[in-house]
Structure 1
Amino acid sequence: MEEQPLVSYKNVSINQQGLGILCDIDFELHKGEFVYIIGKVGSGKSTFLKTIYGELDVCEGEAWVLGYNMRTIKYKNIAPLRRKLGIVFQDFQLLTDRTVYENLAFVLKATGWKNRAEIDERINEVLEQVGMSNKGYKMPNELSGGEQQRIVIARAILNKPEIILADEPTGNLDVETGCRIVELLREICSQGSAIIMTTHNLNLLSEYPGEVFRCENHRMVKISS
């Protein structure tokens, strides 16, 4: 029996503030896939991601994410959906008044973790996985941009998500640091999470191949796999 896609969009249209951003989207994401979405600023890359985590409504077509119908999803189901997703933002969005450890513990407690020993163990695991095992006591402003992005990735994988959405994760980083971040994401992908990454850095595509979709002229079209 064929495995169901994690994300399945058919003839999907997306509006934002009354404007048509993307239309006629056909898109599928399966376990372990690494997908790039490219396109100019304002072409709809981030808008597309927002529909996957329920920030924006899908106004036409069929849209399923991890078994949830995104056309009819109820507000009470948005939080359970997001617990199955990891989101990596370009601008980090770390809590600046808390240490790295406290940032990660906050997410675990907010998603139902209560046992202190289990919280400690999981935080240590993800920090080691992203190469930051000795940084738990640091404040975000004591870290470089690349280190902060590693913490953001650690935060995204805390609950072992089936899908990671990475929105321009290398956008604020120098080339070398950006490459290391993509290598880290690909390593996480190889362990089972599917990843959708938006980027305007086309050099990454040749160095770290994956499926590629381009947002252009209100369409999102597959250009390679």
Structure 2
Amino acid sequence: MEDGLLIQYDHVEICRKELVVLKDVNFKLYSGEFVYFIGRVGTGKSSLLKTMYAEIPVVEGEASVLGFNMKSLRKKDIPQLRRKIGIVFQDFQLLTDRSVKDNLNFVLQATGWKNKAEITERVEQVLVQVGMQNKAYKMPHELSGGEQQRIVIARALLNSPQIILADEPTGNLDPQTGQQIVSLLHSICETGTAVIMTTHNHRLVEEFPGRLLKCENKCLSEVSL
């Protein structure tokens, strides 16, 4: 694989329930790139992201993500792949019965961290990175939507991923809060982490430029605003 290349898709076809969602997808992602997948609802943006963390299988073409062959990926290797990818969901998916700190502790323990002092230190680091260091003991319901999304981004950063996949991360937020979240993702990208974000908000794309690919008519193509 060439230097800095994290994802390579060659002639990939993506299906959901036996229906073709996207066909002949050719795509490369490099370290430190910020990429937007744009397109109307139902054009395959989320499905494409889901193939990258093995939620949906790749059945046609060749696909490599962080050195993993996505066509021959064994079930037992999926956790290893996902540890290298941070995923930011539109609907947060925080555990509602525990504090911010305990949400983050849980992820680290589930991914093999054992040392309590190291866990505490890492949680503090990511909370500082997303500007939420004073919210560690809050419960999710005590946070605003924007604050919850910052915690979700902190959770995605815990294992120092090479790629962050953000699926409509501003979809449930007001415009100003959405801007703050995209600004935060761009600042993370500047540290060398590649970011792929799906959106249909053209204003955000104009304000925070990145590489632009559009899902339309079952195809993925590079476009400019």
TM bracket (short chain): over 0.9
Counterpart AA for 1:23: K
Instruction: State the match for 2:176 in structure 1.
Output: 176
Identity of aligned residues (%): 62
* Structure 2, unpaired ranges of 5+: none
Instruction: State the match for 1:74 in structure 2.
Output: 74
Counterpart AA for 1:217: N
Contact 2:5-2:28 at 8 Å conserved across structures = yes
- C-alpha distance in 1 between matches for 2:150 and 2:3: 31
* Structure 1, unpaired ranges of 5+: none
Counterpart secondary structure, 2:223:
strand
CA deviation string 1:58-80 (max 9, x = no partner):
11111000000001111011000
Structure 2 counterparts to residues 72-221 of structure 1, below 5 A: 72-221=72-221
CA deviation string 1:16-67 (max 9, x = no partner):
1100000010000000000000011110000000000000011111100000
Counterpart AA for 1:153: I
Q: Report the count of equivalent residues.
A: 225
- C-alpha distance in 1 between matches for 2:223 and 2:9: 17
Question: Which structure 1 residue ranges, 4+ long, deviate > 4 Å from structure 2?
Answer: none
- C-alpha distance in 1 between matches for 2:97 and 2:4: 42
- C-alpha distance in 1 between matches for 2:74 and 2:2: 28
- C-alpha distance in 1 between matches for 2:102 and 2:223: 42
- C-alpha distance in 1 between matches for 2:141 and 2:69: 39
TM-score calculated relative to the size of structure 2? 0.98
**CA positional deviation for 1:224:** 3.2
- C-alpha distance in 2 between matches for 1:57 and 1:104: 28
